[in-house]
Amino acid sequence: MEGIYVVVLVGTALILAAAFSSLIAFRFGAPLLLLFLGIGLVAGVDGLGIFFDNAPVAYFVGSLALAVILFDSGFGTRLASFRQAAGPALSLATFGVALTTALFGVAARYLTGLGWMESFLLGAAVASTDAAAVFFLLRAGNLNIRDRVRSTLEVESGSNDPIAIFLTITFVTLIATGSDPKAEVLFVDILTGFAVQMGLGLAAGVTGGFVIARLVERLKLDRGLLPIFTITLSLLLFGLAGAIGGSGFLAVYVAGLIAGNSGVRSAAHLKQFQDGLTWLAQIIMFLVLGLFATPSQFPAIALPAVALGLFLIFVARPIAVWLCLAPFRFTRAETAFVSWVGLRGAVSILLALTPLLENLAVGGIIFNAAFIIVLVSLIVQGWTIGPLARRLGLVVPPRIGPLDKVELELPGAAHHELLAYRVVAGSPVATGVRIPRWARPSLVVRDGRSMTYQYAGRLEAEDHVYIFVSDRYPRLLDRLFASRAELDPEDADFFGAFAIDATRPAADLDAAYGLGLSETDAAKPIVELMVERLGGKAEYADRVTIGSVELIVRDVDDKARIAEVGLSFEPHLEAPKIPVFLSAGEIHDRLVEAVRSWRQRRREKRLRAADKPRKDTSGKDDEPPQMGLPQ
């Protein structure tokens, strides 16, 4: 009996230590996963002496935790963000993972001495990015990244795990069975297995997502039971999809995406519960993996593992990202940032456990190498995301300032929300802007006294306002109750000198500033011309340079239409300097420039040789060169 209490005591102490370590991470912007793993390593066999070497238990706990994390990731992803980033993100999550595996596998073959299959197995284990690490760092660094880049990273991190898991299990199976198929046969088998697993997983996820949403709507469960019922259904779906040969991880992510965007009742309550459960799942998974590792075994593989980690960061990931994003009109800066924000995490360590489950001879080497590669990724990339985003010009000023808001849910109020706002000084409503008729407050609390909106009159700072409204409108109200966003001194002129009426014809701009527009462009409204030059879709903070002026998107509405435009007389013509190792496109351009310079030098050398006087048959020069004699 005492052993049970000791296990509970040690386990809860580790979880509390991990939870408190998050304060350090938020304060200093440190990679949270690094701290969790560090606590596990310190408590393990080479630290405080806690002995844990049960690979099946570690894999089981990690798989359940990962299923919970993926369901919550899908549940919290807005469908608008998914649509915006579906193309590039899914390209990275499929072709990007496969290409990273291939490039990394070749490097591992020559740096570690492993066989080809074992090298590709290690590549598959570390090919996917870690969603928890990526988005924690974006939040902890207070980085307001451009929407398309953020959405791409979010969807990629949530959807690339199933592909890496499939490749890892495929290579483990091939090594365990001792088969050595031809390249053509192997390629066909992988494609067939991929299609079956992903197809069944996707079908299970779509079906399960609609079933979960339907049951949550129809069943009148107790408020406390509802989140438990929902997360249990997601785990049931995870097991069912895996049992029929599909990808359970893809199934739970897709189910979360569908259920979270179905407008289910108690969505806010479910999200709060899942946030807490996801934190617990992350902590437990990271601690278990840290406990399982044996740092005293790291030196034997440390040098090649560190080299492979750097190869993954500086070569494999940038090439894969550049090739996958090339068709999607990403700028060099955006591509470079996506390349850098490819942190490896708990999923890579979890996948590195699979060789140990099959008792492969190289299991220990692969696990230790993957663990070191994850540490390298977190140390090198984790501390530098914020500075790099600012250097590349991807951090944009916030659209709105601080907002004090609470979402309340009422029984029988499906698709409606009771919002409680505190009126912030400097917000539009505090300065006299009227609230729309469809959002008239039901109650105003001022200085401890309750009153109707009609009696309260103009809203004042520190008023508490309660509004019962359809779930389609909260974002519009947020702008009314938020204070003005504070701009950094460096961002004071970010949105231009003044605002212009973007509905007017571009000819007016041409007449005022001599832009040299064609008759066709001059006849278009300014907003239409901007959208056309932005490739058909505008985003907050987008910039369009026309002649001597620059037009900046100051705001967009909920349908991604330009709502306000600023004008600047100082166009940002100089692109940010991108580290050459972050962009394969940059490397390509420099190689092309080097080749062009070399050819130019050769051409000039041939011309100089052709201009020299030729010798006649007698061996004498036709015209002796004029030699300069020293004075």
Contact 555, 564 (CB under 8 A): yes
Instruction: Mean pLDDT check: name the lowest of 13-27, 145-159, 161-175, 186-200.
Output: 13-27
> How many domains in the chain?
4
Measure the CA angle with vertex 258, ends 257 and 259; round to 5°: 95
Give the pLDDT confidence score for residue 413 in this predicted structure. Answer: 54
- pLDDT (mean) for 363-384: 91
> How many Å from the N-terminal Cα to the C-terminal Cα in the chain?
106
Residues 515, 374 share a domain:
no
Query: For residue 121, is it within any domain?
Result: yes
Query: For residue 335, is it within any domain?
Result: yes
In sequence order, the 6+-apart residues with CB closer than 8 A to the CB of 278 are: 68, 69, 72
Q: What is the CATH number of the domain that holds 173?
A: 1.20.1530.20
pLDDT in tens, 40-61: 888 888 888 888 888 999 999 9
Give the pLDDT confidence score for residue 231 in this predicted structure. Answer: 93
- Residue at 563: amino acid letter: A
Instruction: Mean pLDDT check: name the lowest of 173-177, 380-384, 480-484.
Output: 480-484
- Domain with 496, as residue range(s), is 491-568
**pLDDT > 60? residue 573:** no
Contact 542, 555 (CB under 8 A): no
Query: For residue 511, is it within any domain?
Result: yes
Residues 472, 361 share a domain:
no
Residues 386, 445 share a domain:
no
Nearest CA among 104, 205, 113, 132 for reference residue 162: 205
Give the pLDDT confidence score for residue 181 in this predicted structure. Answer: 62
Query: For residue 385, is it within any domain?
Result: yes
Query: For residue 438, is it within any domain?
Result: yes
Better pLDDT: 559 or 358: 358
pLDDT in tens, 406-438: 666 666 555 667 788 888 887 888 888 888 777
Give the pLDDT confidence score for residue 12 in this predicted structure. Answer: 82
Task: Give percent of the chain above pLDDT 70.
Answer: 81
Q: What is the CATH number of the domain that holds 527?
A: 3.30.465.10
**pLDDT > 80? residue 90:** yes
Task: Please provide the DSSP assignment of 194-239 as one string.
Answer: HHHHHHHHHHHHHHHHHHHHHHHHH----TTHHHHHHHHHHHHHHH
Residues 107, 210 share a domain:
yes
Helical segments of 47-146, H only: 55-75, 79-91, 97-112, 116-125, 131-140
Residues 500, 470 share a domain:
no
pLDDT band (50, 70, 90) for residue 254: very high
Residues 496, 477 share a domain:
no
Token digits of residue 3: 């052993």
pLDDT in tens, 513-533: 888 888 888 888 888 888 888
Give the pLDDT confidence score for residue 179 in this predicted structure. Answer: 64
**pLDDT > 70? residue 312:** yes
Give the pLDDT confidence score for residue 303 in this predicted structure. Answer: 95
Give the pLDDT confidence score for residue 631 in this predicted structure. Answer: 36
Residues 303, 156 share a domain:
yes
Burial tier of 134 (Cβ tally within 10 Å: 0-12, 13-18, 19+)? buried
Give the pLDDT confidence score for residue 232 in this predicted structure. Answer: 93
Residues 225, 339 share a domain:
yes
pLDDT band (50, 70, 90) for residue 582: low
**Partners of 407 in beta bridges:** 419
Instruction: Mean pLDDT check: name the lowest of 135-144, 286-295, 518-527.
Output: 135-144
Give the pLDDT confidence score for residue 617 in this predicted structure. Answer: 47
Helical segments of 406-565, H only: 453-456, 474-481, 506-513, 519-522, 526-533
Q: Against a cut of 0.75, is the pTM above it?
A: yes
**pLDDT > 70? residue 354:** yes
- The last residue of a domain, from among 481, 514, 535: 481
Residues 408, 264 share a domain:
no
Q: In what order do the strands lie in the sheet with 449-451?
A: 404-408, 416-422, 464-470, 443-446, 449-451
Residues 241, 309 share a domain:
yes
Instruction: Mean pLDDT check: name the lowest of 167-171, 373-377, 442-446, 575-579.
Output: 575-579
Residues 152, 44 share a domain:
yes
Burial tier of 254 (Cβ tally within 10 Å: 0-12, 13-18, 19+)? buried
Residues 463, 318 share a domain:
no
Give the pLDDT confidence score for residue 458 in this predicted structure. Answer: 82
**Mean model confidence pLDDT for the chain:** 81
Tell me the C-alpha distance between 152 and 192, whole Å.
27
- Which range of 79-83, 183-187, 287-291, 551-555 scores highest in mean pLDDT? It is 287-291
Better pLDDT: 150 or 497: 150
Give the pLDDT confidence score for residue 369 in this predicted structure. Answer: 95
pLDDT band (50, 70, 90) for residue 135: low
Helical segments of 92-130, H only: 97-112, 116-125
**pLDDT > 50? residue 630:** no
Query: For residue 624, is it within any domain?
Result: no
